[in-house]
Amino acid sequence: MEMSTTSSGELSSSTAVCASPGYLCTLALHPGSAACSATVYDNATTNSGTILFELLGTNAGSSVTISFNHPIYATKGLYVALSGTGAKAHITFAKLV
């Protein structure tokens, strides 16, 4: 099985980052002027369904990066829901090739 790793680029709003099955490899969360959070769903189009990972309450000025030693598998796709004023995120994911 071969995998291709892709970066979402900078995300500044909730969005789908992968529309097919794949693996969540990293999540970086950068707060703006207020605390923020990110929730990653196993969904190709919206913020519903199974929550794969949730990072809550990151304070303003304190970025966090999570790298998964064992990437989290998503059967449908990856949707990232961001909250908090000025929040930004980067996601790295892998799709089966």
- CATH number 3.30.390 is the correct assignment for the domain at 3-96: no
Rounded to whole angstroms, how far apart are CA atoms 77 and 24?
9
Beta bridge partners of 34: none
Average pLDDT over residues 75-91: 94
Encode pLDDT of 28-75 as tens digits. 999 988 889 999 999 999 999 999 999 987 788 889 999 999 999 999
Domain segments of the chain: what residues? 3-96
**What DSSP line would sit under 35-86, residue for residue?**
-EEEEEES-SSSS-S-EEEEEEEEPTT--EEEEEEEEEEESS-EEEEEESTT
Confidence check: pLDDT of 4 > 90: no
Query: Would you mind telling me the total number of residues written for the chain in this entry?
Result: 97
